[in-house]
């Protein structure tokens, strides 16, 4: 399989994951910025070599041709948004906001996300175990989606 097809197949899977969709919708990144950042960070691992930015631009999911300049502008925006998000978390921690109970639901979600990711990594060896494991993963994913949707709806009692 060619690099472009492999990267785009992986990107489609990642960007269409229901949990990723909810997280992206409520993040500081647009879908295009997330896609661009993922290409920049992960495409070289898949290629096994360093890629130029015009090569990375061709990996985008869009049918339209993306220039290297456009790819780089989107990448710059995504990196700036990630940095601003990190500074926001640092600021709130410094001011003591994280020590209040208002963030408990978000911490619970973070733990549920960790549990979900670990469940994906630990697949059993036999078919029966795999089927049972997939049921557990599906239950965790559904719980995660419901919790994320609940937290992402506006409410006066959160932050």
Q: What is the pLDDT of residue 147?
A: 85
Among 37, 62, 94, the domain boundary falls at: 94
36-81 pLDDT per residue, tens: 999 999 888 888 899 999 999 999 999 889 999 999 999 999 999 9
> Are 134 and 69 in the same domain?
no
Asked whether residue 90 falls in the same domain as residue 109, the answer is no
107 and 90 both lie in a single domain:
no
User: Left if phi > 0, otherwise alpha if psi is -120 to 50, otherwise beta: which for 65?
Assistant: beta
Q: What is the residue range of 115's domain?
A: 100-159
The string of pLDDT tens digits covering residues 100-124 is 767 778 888 888 888 888 877 777 7
Residues 72 and 131 in one domain: no
User: Which pLDDT score is estimated for 43?
Assistant: 87
What is this structure's pTM?
0.77
- pLDDT, mean over the chain: 86
Whether the per-residue pLDDT at 144 is higher than 70: the answer is yes
How much helix, strand and coil, in percent to the nearest 5, is found in the chain? 75, 0, 25
| CA 141/CA 146 separation, integer angstroms | 9
């Amino acid at each position: 399989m060619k690099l472009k097809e492999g990267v785009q197949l992986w990107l489609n899977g990642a960007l269409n994951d229901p949990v990723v969709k909810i997280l992206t919708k409520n993040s500081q990144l647009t879908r295009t910025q997330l896609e661009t950042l993922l290409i920049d960070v992960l495409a070289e691992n898949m290629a096994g070599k360093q890629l130029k930015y015009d090569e990375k631009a061709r990996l985008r999911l869009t049918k339209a041709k993306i220039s290297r300049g456009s790819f780089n502008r989107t990448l710059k925006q995504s990196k700036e948004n990630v940095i601003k998000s990190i500074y926001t978390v640092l600021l709130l921690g410094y001011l003591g906001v994280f020590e209040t109970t208002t963030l408990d639901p978000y911490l619970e979600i973070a733990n549920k996300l960790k549990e979900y990711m670990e469940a994906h990594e630990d697949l059993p060896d036999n078919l029966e175990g795999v089927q049972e494991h997939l049921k557990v993963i599906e239950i965790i994913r559904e719980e995660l989606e419901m919790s994320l949707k609940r937290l992402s709806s506006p409410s006066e009692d959160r932050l």
